[in-house]
Amino acid sequence: MNFIGHEIDDFKVNAYQDGKTKEVTKNDVLGKWSIFFFYPADFSFVCPTELEALQDKYDDFKKADADIYSVSEDTEFVHKAWAEASEKIGKIKYNMLADPAGKLARMFDVLDEDAGQAYRGVFIVDPDGKIQSYTINNMGIGRSADEILRTLQAAQFVREHGDRVCPANWKPGQDSIKPSLDLVGKL
């Protein structure tokens, strides 16, 4: 299934954030850019390296008017226990969504039903709740926080400048391309 342009469904899940539990709904993510970052499980091996890398870039995501929602099939209580047990996870300030019933993982089609865990999916959702970018990796393949941020910035640029596109490795401030027949075969 192709998710580009697909509006996310309504949802309501529990979350752990910075020492507290709370509820997060679709309405909470509308009006700003959102990164849904699925990972297989708390208390695992690759996952803490990814979550720490996202935390290290969290201020950059916030400056880009985006919030991060990490998601696993664990409960908010397991997220809390992991934050208390791990220095890396303990410093996370973004929302850690609890999806023990797999509702979000099924909605984004990243649930490995046999394992009861989510594949490593990243979904960049615009302020209207529509998916603008996504990648899905197998369980053992970690992701780059820098590339997620760069992709977010490119999606934001394209949304703001609908007549321009971003070439490979584009970063804010670099030249973009205005598609035209004059460029065909010249790039």
Q: What is the pLDDT of residues 50-104, one digit of tens each?
A: 999 999 999 999 999 999 999 999 999 999 999 999 999 999 999 999 999 999 9
Residues annotated as part of the active site: 47
Map out the domains of the chain with their CATH numbers.
Answer: 12-143 (3.40.30.10)
- The per-residue pLDDT for 15 is 98
| pLDDT classification of 162: cutoffs 50, 70, 90 | confident
- Nearest alpha-carbon partner for 134 in 145, 125, 146, 144: 125
pLDDT surpasses 70 at 187: no
What's the confidence (pLDDT) of residue 52?
A: 98
Strand (E) positions, the chain?
A: 12-17, 20-25, 33-38, 66-72, 95-98, 111-112, 117-118, 120-125, 131-137
Q: Three-state DSSP class for 45?
A: coil
* pLDDT per residue as tens digits for the range 6-60: 999 999 999 999 999 999 999 999 999 999 999 999 999 999 999 999 999 999 9
